[in-house]
Amino acid sequence: MTIVQPSTPLASLATIPFTHERVLISTGSRSGLTISVAVHSSRLGQALGGARMWQYENWTDAVADSLRLSAAMTLKNAAAGLNRGGGKSVIHLPIGTVLTDAQKRDAMLDLGDAIESLGGVYMTAEDVGTSAEMMAIVAERTDHVCGLPADRGGVGEPADATAAGVYASIRSTLFALFGSEDVAGRHLVISGLGQVGGRLASMLASAGAELTVTDVNLAKKDFALLLGARWVDVAEAHRVRADLFVPCGLGGVLTDLVIGELGSRAVVGAANNQLANHDGARELDARGILWAPDFVVNAGGVIYLDMASRPDADQKVIDARVATIGDTVTKIFEDARKLGITTLEAAERLAAARLDATV
For the annotated catalytic residues, the residue numbers are 88
- Distance (Å, rounded) from C-alpha 137 to C-alpha 131? 10
Task: Report how far apart, in Å, the C-alpha atoms of 126 and of each of 7, 62, 358 are.
Answer: 21, 17, 28
- What is the DSSP code string of 20-52? -SEEEEEE-TTT--EEEEEEEE-SSSSEE--EE
**For residue 278, what is the DSSP state?**
T
End-to-end CA distance of the chain: 11
- Distance (Å, rounded) from C-alpha 56 to C-alpha 94? 6
Q: What sections of the chain are H helices per DSSP?
A: 59-79, 101-116, 132-138, 159-178, 195-206, 221-227, 256-261, 280-286, 294-297, 300-308, 315-323, 325-339, 343-356
3-state secondary structure of 60: helix
To the nearest 10°, the Cα dihedral for 209, 211, 215, 221?
A: 110
3-state secondary structure of 168: helix
Interhelix angle 315-323/300-308, rounded to 10 degrees, is 150
- Distance (Å, rounded) from C-alpha 310 to C-alpha 331? 28
- What is the DSSP code string of 96-112? T----HHHHHHHHHHHH
To the nearest 10°, the Cα dihedral for 125, 126, 131, 135?
A: -20
Give the strand pairing for 230-231 and 290-291.
unpaired
Candidates 246, 260, 262; CA nearest to 213 is 246
Phi-psi bin for 333: left (phi > 0), alpha (psi -120 to 50), beta?
alpha
Largest CA distance in the chain: 56
